Amino acid sequence: MNSIRCVICDGDEWDRIGAVHAGETRREGTSLQRVEQEFALGACRNCGHVRTIEQYDAAVFSRLYAQESQQPVSWGDLKGADALQPYAEMVELAGGAALKSSAGLIIDVGCGNGPLLVTLAERFDIALPRLLGIDFNRMLPDRFAFRQADLNTTDLMALVEAGTPVDAVMSSHVIEHVLDPRRFLRQLKKLVQHCGGVIYIETPDFSAVDVGRPDVCNLIHPQHINYFTADSLAKLMASVGLLVEHVDTQVTGGIPRLRMRARAASADEPAARLRASLQAGVETRAQIARSLMCAGPVLLWGAGGDLWRMLEEHPQTGALLESGRVRIVDRALAGATIHGQQILSSSDIRNQEGPVILMPAYSGTRRSMINFARSEEFDARLVDLYAQ
Ligand SMILES: [Zn+2]
Q: Positive or negative CA dihedral for 25, 26, 32, 37? A: negative
Q: Does one domain contain both 125 and 244?
A: yes
pLDDT in tens, 290-322: 999 887 899 999 999 999 999 999 999 999 999
Has residue 1 got a pLDDT over 50?
A: no
Query: Could you give the percent of the chain with pLDDT greater than 90?
Result: 77
Lowest mean pLDDT among 69-83, 172-186, 336-350: 69-83
pLDDT recorded at residue 69: 47
Q: Does one domain contain both 284 and 259?
A: no
Q: How many angstroms does the Cα of residue 232 sit away from the middle of ligand 1?
A: 9
Q: How many angstroms does the Cα of residue 235 sit away from the middle of ligand 1?
A: 11
Q: Is residue 66 part of a domain?
A: no
Final residue belonging to a domain, choices 213, 243, 266: 266
Q: Is residue 177 part of a domain?
A: yes
Band the pLDDT of 94: cuts 50, 70, 90.
Answer: very high
More confident call, 63 vs 286: 286
Q: Which residue segment(s) compose the domain that 305 sits in?
A: 270-387
Q: Is residue 284 part of a domain?
A: yes
Angle at 233 between CA 230 and CA 235, to 5 degrees: 105
Q: How many angstroms does the Cα of residue 306 sit away from the middle of ligand 1?
A: 43
Q: Is residue 64 part of a domain?
A: no
Q: Does one domain contain both 203 and 294?
A: no
Cβ atoms 53, 1 nearer than 8 A? yes
In 3-state terms the chain splits into helix, strand, coil percentages (rounded to 5) of 35, 25, 40
Q: Which residues pair with 251 in a beta bridge?
A: 256
Cβ atoms 221, 246 nearer than 8 A? no
pLDDT in tens, 110-124: 999 999 999 999 999
Has residue 349 got a pLDDT over 80?
A: yes
Q: Is residue 70 part of a domain?
A: no
Q: Does one domain contain both 22 and 105?
A: no
Q: How many angstroms does the Cα of residue 270 sit away from the middle of ligand 1?
A: 27
pLDDT in tens, 185-239: 999 999 999 999 999 999 999 998 877 766 555 788 889 999 999 999 999 999 9
Q: How many angstroms does the Cα of residue 4 sit away from the middle of ligand 1?
A: 11
Q: What is the CATH number of the domain that holds 275?
A: 3.40.50.720
Q: How many angstroms does the Cα of residue 67 sit away from the middle of ligand 1?
A: 32
Q: Does one domain contain both 238 and 287?
A: no
When divided into structural domains, the chain yields a total of 3
pLDDT in tens, 23-60: 888 899 999 998 888 999 999 999 999 999 999 988 88
Q: Is residue 61 part of a domain?
A: no
Q: How many angstroms does the Cα of residue 236 sit away from the middle of ligand 1?
A: 11
pLDDT recorded at residue 73: 60
More confident call, 340 vs 209: 340
Q: Does one domain contain both 223 and 85?
A: yes
Q: Does one domain contain both 244 and 277?
A: no
Q: How many angstroms does the Cα of residue 226 sit away from the middle of ligand 1?
A: 11
Strand 198-204's sheet: what is its strand order?
A: 145-148, 131-135, 105-109, 166-172, 198-204, 255-264, 242-252
The answer, yes or no, to whether ipTM is higher than 0.95 is yes
pLDDT in tens, 253-290: 888 999 999 999 876 778 888 888 999 999 999 999 99
- Residues by chain with Cβ below 5 Å of ion ligand 1: 6, 8-9, 11, 44, 46-47, 49
Q: How many angstroms does the Cα of residue 178 sit away from the middle of ligand 1?
A: 17
Q: How many angstroms does the Cα of residue 109 sit away from the middle of ligand 1?
A: 26
pLDDT recorded at residue 252: 86
Q: Does one domain contain both 296 and 254?
A: no
Q: Does one domain contain both 254 and 116?
A: yes
Q: How many angstroms does the Cα of residue 103 sit away from the middle of ligand 1?
A: 40
Q: Is residue 72 part of a domain?
A: no
Has residue 15 got a pLDDT over 90?
A: yes
Q: Does one domain contain both 173 and 291?
A: no
Residue 30 neighbours by CB under 8 Å, 6+ apart: none
Q: How many angstroms does the Cα of residue 63 sit away from the middle of ligand 1?
A: 28
Task: State whether residue 58 is helix, strand or coil.
Answer: helix
Final residue belonging to a domain, choices 229, 250, 266: 266
Q: Does one domain contain both 41 and 104?
A: no
Q: How many angstroms does the Cα of residue 7 sit away from the middle of ligand 1?
A: 7
Has residue 64 got a pLDDT over 70?
A: yes
What kind and span of H or E run contains 125? none
Q: Does one domain contain both 229 and 257?
A: yes
Q: What is the CATH number of the domain that holds 83?
A: 3.40.50.150
Final residue belonging to a domain, choices 55, 70, 91: 55
Residue 172 and residue 118: Cα distance in Å, rounded? 14
Q: Is residue 155 part of a domain?
A: yes
